[in-house]
Structure 1
Amino acid sequence: MRDQHIPLFIPDIVSYDKLVPYLKQIDENRWYSNRGPLVCSFEKRMEEHFDYPQGGIATCASGTLGIISTLLALELPRGSKCVMPAWTFVGTMAAINAAGLEPVFADVNLASWALDINEVKKLVERDKKISAVIVVCPFGKMVDIASWEELANSYGISVIIDGAACFDSFKQTGKKTTLPFIISLHATKVFGIGEGGLVLSENTDFIDKVKKITNFGIDENRNVPVVGVNAKMSEYHAAVGHAMLDEWPQHRQCWKKLIKSYHSYLGSVSQFSDGYVTSNCILKLDEKTIKNIKQELQGAMECRNIWQLLDDKFENSFKFSQTVVSIPFYLGIDTLVVNKILGCFREDVRK
């Protein structure tokens, strides 16, 4: 088994035969981008899936471009500041920079792993150049949206929820919000279409603005009233989205079965939940155990941090950056192989 390297993740996207009917539609329509019929119908199906109002969801070419388009749609003062977690995926910071804002880091909460709202309040109260906050949901775990809605209203600043991995958890909570909520449809997510993203909000006027921004800011009269980017979803990615949505109930059951098998031997150190499915197997361990694991594995299986520490002066963020790791977890993985590899440090993991 030591000679067999197991990667962290292998995508499992819908098969070609399920795609064919939608690819044929593209050929018949001869419409490949610029909000074609498949993109528009995919948005409608997503509105039904999430029980959002008509016009409440915009598609985009990636989750990161969804954040950038949202920040541009908010028309924040250029050069103003945007608060974000000091421990997260670097794509959040990339989006802030691309939108012409200055990132400001804050610590995460020990219990939620997400941005600490009390730390954000302190920053906002003493720095009037802060115009926005991006709250990142950790590995698909939902944040307390109501608290962030209250903060946005109380302080008069914009709040965005980066729920990149929350395709299933957001659906399961059934929460509706006027705050922009961004979901990634990257190949590494439970609902992956290769590349893509969704921006959701009950504020349909705002979503309409986001749609314009993803198309260079061009409106229905071919005018350009706002600064935009090219962030449109293609018809091909929408085709994958349609086929994935057709298969989603069965696909979700496969994820649930895999989660159950992992949880049976990882126990409480894994961050799985009974309420939703996720494509990451995240372990919270001590530094000594992580070091022992990596020595035992000797390259047989990936075990690594998938989030970055963006500023090491924050205690909780630094702690998580040293003690949270991801291990191989994907549909079709040979769980017997994983069990044998994990068996060499089973006792360490269960401590």
Structure 2
Amino acid sequence: MSNGPIYVTRPSLPPLAELLPLLEEMWDSRVLTNNGPFHQKFEAALTAFLEAEHVSLVSNGMLALEAAIDAAQLTGEVVTTPYSFVATTHAVRRANLQPVFVDIRPHDLNIDPDAVEAAITEKTSAIVAVHCYGNPCNVDALRAIAERHGLKLIYDAAHAFGVRRNGQSLLAHGDFSILSFHATKVFNTFEGGVVIAASQAGKAAVDSLRNFGIASETSIPNTGGNAKMSEFNAALGLLQLDRFAEAREARRQVDTRYREALTSIEGIEPLALPDGVEPNFSYFPVLVGEDYPISRDALYEALKAENIFARRYFYPLLSSLPMYRDLASADPANLPVATEAAKQILCLPIYEGLSEADQDRVIRAVQRPS
């Protein structure tokens, strides 16, 4: 029986032979970046696929979020979640804004709308919410709160490529949503990202910001950065788009086998798939409770001893990091659900190409922890 390493994910890739003709086109044209032909084709293809009118390609998800925050012209404080990857809050802080952490909901680990509203002050300019693991936030409640208080609403949808809610793209919500195309994501271009704006003016602002604020050869009206996607990443994205349905179906099968095998284990609670949602199966998170024979961290180490590399997404909480822990909103007493979830969460390996034999290794290791 093979005992090779099983990682939490493995990037999906198209056949190399399909990429080579596209590379030859680049070599012939010598156009490598700056809104080249592959960039334009990929942006147009994503506009159709994501059912979003105002799509801007960028070089990675972190810069996508920074561009969205910049385009939204935020000031003061931003209400956000402590339960996410560090890029979420770093993007807020790097814009010289103050993150205000609020708690999450226990059933989906997404930001709690009631806690959001309670945290709003005269200094609040926006809500930055995260569709954690690709599961939708309560977008209706958050929209109502944002409208009631005149706030911008930005979604870190890094996990949510291709997710639909009630038949509609999840990216149709908010003033801006961002995607990450990092190698670990269900849809990847090695590195890359997208900003989806609710308006043409929002897209125009992002397009300017991703290219140094340049309007023409002689006009630079904005202070921007360099967040352009290269022609290589765009070409790869076009190929990946053709394979997404296949990759998602492969992940769905892995998800189904896990649920069938693990749901009955006392102390192991797979995070539920929401009703009315077409998920992308980007992660398989479980909560390791007190009824399980060993702690979450002990299970993490036991899996590692079996050459299985699960991940504690998301631990530690962003609010516990040294640059944020002194904020009043970072007090663990203010974040009881998030604090407990961070102690219990474990994401098991899931990816296209995970064999049943390797998945069975993971299942056995969880069923009989050493």
Structure-1-length-normalised TM-score: 0.90
> Which residue does the alignment assign to 1:92?
88
Q: CA deviation at 1:178?
A: 5.1
Q: Could you say if the C-alpha distance between residues 206 and 341 of structure 1 is closer, same or farther in structure 2, counting changes exceeding 3 Å?
A: closer
Q: CA deviation at 1:271?
A: 2.9
Q: CA deviation at 1:160?
A: 0.3
> Which residue does the alignment assign to 1:73?
71
How far apart are the structure 2 equivalents of 1:341 and 1:74?
44
Q: Deviations over 1:35-76 (max 9, x none)?
A: 1111111111011112222xx101111111001001111122
Contact 1:68 1:99 in 2 (8 A): yes
Give the aligned length: 342
Aligned-partner residue type, residue 165 of structure 1: H
> Which residue does the alignment assign to 1:47?
47
Contact 1:263 1:272 in 2 (8 A): no
Q: 1:251 aligns with which of 244, 247, 250?
A: 247
Aligned-partner residue type, residue 45 of structure 1: A
Q: CA deviation at 1:89?
A: 1.0
Match status 1:278 vs 2:281: yes
Contact 1:177 1:201 in 2 (8 A): no
> Which residue does the alignment assign to 2:342?
321
Contact 2:289 2:344 in 1 (8 A): yes
How far apart are the structure 2 equivalents of 1:342 and 1:31?
48
Q: Could you say if the C-alpha distance between residues 50 and 291 of structure 1 is closer, same or farther in structure 2, counting changes exceeding 3 Å?
A: closer
Q: Could you say if the C-alpha distance between residues 224 and 298 of structure 1 is closer, same or farther in structure 2, counting changes exceeding 3 Å?
A: closer
Instruction: Give 3-state SS (helix, strand or coil) of 2:122's partner.
Output: coil
Q: 1:339 aligns with which of 342, 360, 365?
A: 360
Q: Could you say if the C-alpha distance between residues 149 and 339 of structure 1 is closer, same or farther in structure 2, counting changes exceeding 3 Å?
A: same
Q: Deviations over 1:82-123 (max 9, x none)?
A: 221122111101111222212221111223311111111111
Instruction: Give 3-state SS (helix, strand or coil) of 1:133's partner.
Output: strand
Q: Deviations over 1:122-170 (max 9, x none)?
A: 111xx32221210011111111222222222111111101110100214
How far apart are the structure 2 equivalents of 1:205 and 1:28?
35
How far apart are the structure 1 equivalents of 2:246 and 2:3?
33
How far apart are the structure 2 equivalents of 1:212 and 1:347?
55
Contact 1:63 1:198 in 2 (8 A): yes
- Report which stretch shifted further, 202-211 or 306-315: 306-315
Instruction: Give 3-state SS (helix, strand or coil) of 2:233's partner.
Output: helix
Instruction: Give 3-state SS (helix, strand or coil) of 1:135's partner.
Output: strand
Q: 2:201 aligns with which of 205, 216, 224?
A: 205
Q: 2:296 aligns with which of 281, 286, 290?
A: 290
Contact 2:311 2:346 in 1 (8 A): yes
> Which residue does the alignment assign to 2:29?
29
Q: Could you say if the C-alpha distance between residues 121 and 222 of structure 1 is closer, same or farther in structure 2, counting changes exceeding 3 Å?
A: farther
Q: CA deviation at 1:291?
A: 4.7
Q: CA deviation at 1:302?
A: 1.9
Q: 2:234 aligns with which of 233, 238, 243?
A: 238
How far apart are the structure 1 equivalents of 2:27 and 2:92?
37
Q: Which runs of 5+ in 1 are unaligned?
A: none
How far apart are the structure 1 equivalents of 2:215 and 2:105?
41
Q: Which runs of 5+ in 2 are unaligned?
A: 320-331
How far apart are the structure 2 equivalents of 1:213 and 1:170?
29
Aligned-partner residue type, residue 253 of structure 1: E
Q: 2:351 aligns with which of 319, 327, 330?
A: 330
How far apart are the structure 2 equivalents of 1:275 and 1:119?
27
Contact 2:153 2:174 in 1 (8 A): no
Q: Could you say if the C-alpha distance between residues 26 and 254 of structure 1 is closer, same or farther in structure 2, counting changes exceeding 3 Å?
A: same
How far apart are the structure 1 equivalents of 2:65 and 2:336?
27
> Which residue does the alignment assign to 1:304?
311
Q: Could you say if the C-alpha distance between residues 4 and 133 of structure 1 is closer, same or farther in structure 2, counting changes exceeding 3 Å?
A: same
Match status 1:116 vs 2:122: no
Contact 1:272 1:281 in 2 (8 A): no
Q: 1:174 aligns with which of 169, 172, 180?
A: 169
How far apart are the structure 1 equivalents of 2:21 and 2:197?
30
Pairing 1:149-228 to 2, within 5 Å after superposition: 149-170=143-164, 173-175=168-170, 176-177=172-173, 179-220=175-216, 222-228=218-224
How far apart are the structure 2 equivalents of 1:156 and 1:278?
34
Contact 1:69 1:210 in 2 (8 A): yes
Structure-2-length-normalised TM-score: 0.85
Q: CA deviation at 1:326?
A: 0.9
Q: CA deviation at 1:295?
A: 5.5
Instruction: Give 3-state SS (helix, strand or coil) of 1:168's partner.
Output: coil
Q: CA deviation at 1:304?
A: 3.0
Contact 2:300 2:346 in 1 (8 A): no
Give % identity.
24
Q: Could you say if the C-alpha distance between residues 112 and 73 of structure 1 is closer, same or farther in structure 2, counting changes exceeding 3 Å?
A: same
Instruction: Give 3-state SS (helix, strand or coil) of 1:88's partner.
Output: coil
